[in-house]
Chains A and B, each alone.
Chain A
Amino acid sequence: MNARIVHIAANTFREAVRDRVLYNLIAFALLLSGAAVFVGQISIDIEKLVVINLGLTAVSLFGVVIAIFIGIGLVSKEIEKRTLYTVLSRPVRRWEFIVGKFFGLAGTLVVNTFLMAIGVFAALLYVSRHFHQPDAWILVALYFIVLQFLIICSLALLFSSFSSPLLSAVFAFALFVIGSFAEDLRGFAGMAHGLSRWLATAAAYLVPNFSALNVISSVAHEQPVAAHLIFYNTAYALTYAAMVLCGAVLIFERRNLK
């Protein structure tokens, strides 16, 4: 593994931690505890369902927000503050910088998710006294959430490489929203004709598709996740993120740094 990429990734992680991003975990813990109290007031039947729905939704949402808000600054902040000059005056290739930043951010999110997952399982234990076999699928749901993060990180990094933080945030969030109903886009493409059909189909495939990665509801109902779904989702997320990173590298390699 390229040592410089590792160093850049480690430094990015350190920056996130010192930026007190992990404090979001406190908010998360408070949310879960409050929810556990609230959950006790509704049907006993669905206590567990609500804990899983709420817990996983919170993990996903918190992570998306962090991914976007740190991701958009990853490159543009360095350009704006000119910390990048002294880094690039060293034998660091521009693409190594992008890739290192990506792994740093992804690593931060993985650690964050891991800590949150402990919270979710703790809440689950509190509600249902002991674990059952179907609870293992929650791990798959968490894995899919991490895959979702990889895609979002790459998108935030892409926009950060050429756009201001504000615009990057808007674009990244817009793509997140569109990605959550990418399936509707495909349905629309199926019904359209001519040019709009073409455009809609292109958009439907280029836009990230998060519907396949969202299994929170079915995991909450203790339904299993098919193995080939896991395989193809992994492949999709990795290839999509790689595609976006290539775009980021292409843009960044050519950029004149003001």
Chain B
Amino acid sequence: MAAIEILGLEKIYRVGFWRKKPKYALRPLHLTVEEGEIFGFLGPNGAGKTTTLKLLMSLIFPTSGTARILGQDWTDPRVKAQIGFLPEQPYFYDYLTAGELLDYYGQLSGVPGKERSERIRKVLGRVGLSDVKGVQLRKFSKGMLQRVGIAQAILHEPKLVFLDEPMSGLDPMGRREVRDLIEQLKQEGKTVFFSTHILSDAEALCDRVAIIHQGTLRGVGAVADLTASVHSRVEFVWQGTRVPASLKALAAECHVTSDTVRAIVPEERQDATIDAVRREGLRLISVVPVRTSLEDYFVEKLKPEKMAGATV
């Protein structure tokens, strides 16, 4: 059974004084997430990631389309008992302590009284907040709030966890911990769907990713498959500071340091570059293929729209 099936969800806002102008926050989206996988939902700010999540949480209603979560209609309230949600830059009732908040949420999720305190204790330990259980949330830093957010998302042992920008506001240590936590969730057989604009996190964690830009899906698949479609590049390093005109024409980028030149060249021009280097009599130090990353994928696939003045 697929964990999430998005069947054409679409969201159009009407903006302007007379509400006439349409704003396409999300074009009809078709996406499937399998159970047990870590799925990354990537895109620049304003691409439609949060809109998609809010649609799935029924915080906003679609203009058209439906979805199924864990095989059930996404608007069914009962399905909420099996999912957890961490919103972007979360904020909680600041007059409650961490323990009280989790207790309240536990009550609302239907966690029975006897188990609740035990689960709260465990989950606070998992996110590293055990010693601030009795502190009021108004005193929490952003990073601590983020952890509380994760705690409330997993408190009731949901099968599927939605995280919107889970790393935001965390220092490198914290990000590492969250990454480890997401890995653990997968070990426990949970499905994790998280959105982010930080590509390196996605590369490290995700089994599959979807890339969305300006409300439209631009690519879905395993990271390796996606990066493979990007044109490979090769890095040439030679001695000296001279960059002959012929090499400048071939290279995509050139960096000159105190005694070497580093040039990035598209793979198909590799042979031509070797010939040019030899012809110019340059002393070649190394020729190394450059590992493409998702960032390259992004830049390559999304660049035309960016040039057209799109908002990022």
Contacts and interface: CB of A to CB of B under 8 A. Distances in A.
B140 interface: no
A4 interface: yes
A41 interface: no
A85 B105 CA distance: 12
Interface residues of A, number: 24
Contact of A81 (B83, B91, B107): B91
A183 B107 CA distance: 46
Which are the 4 A-B pairs with shortest beta-carbon distances? A89-B85, A18-B95, A256-B60, A91-B80
7 contacts: A3-B107, A83-B91, A83-B93, A86-B86, A89-B80, A92-B80, A256-B61
B61 A90 contact: no
Interface of B: 54, 57-61, 77-78, 80-81, 83-87, 89-93, 95-96, 104-105, 107-110, 149, 152-153, 156, 162
B108 A82 contact: no
A54 to B, nearest CB: 33
A222 interface: no
A98 to B, nearest CB: 15
A19 B153 CA distance: 27
B87 A7 contact: no
A47 interface: no
Contacts of B153: 86
A92 B105 CA distance: 10
A85 B87 contact: yes
Chain B interface mostly: mixed
B104 A11 contact: yes
Interface in A2-52: 3-4, 7-8, 11, 14-15, 18-19
Given A91-B78, A93-B77, A19 B85 contact: no
B87 A87 contact: no
Interface string A243-258: 0000000000010110
B95 A257 contact: no
Nearest to B86: A86
A193 to B, nearest CB: 36
Given A83-B92, A85-B59, A85-B90, A91 B104 contact: no
A88 B57 contact: yes
B58 A88 contact: yes
A139 to B, nearest CB: 33
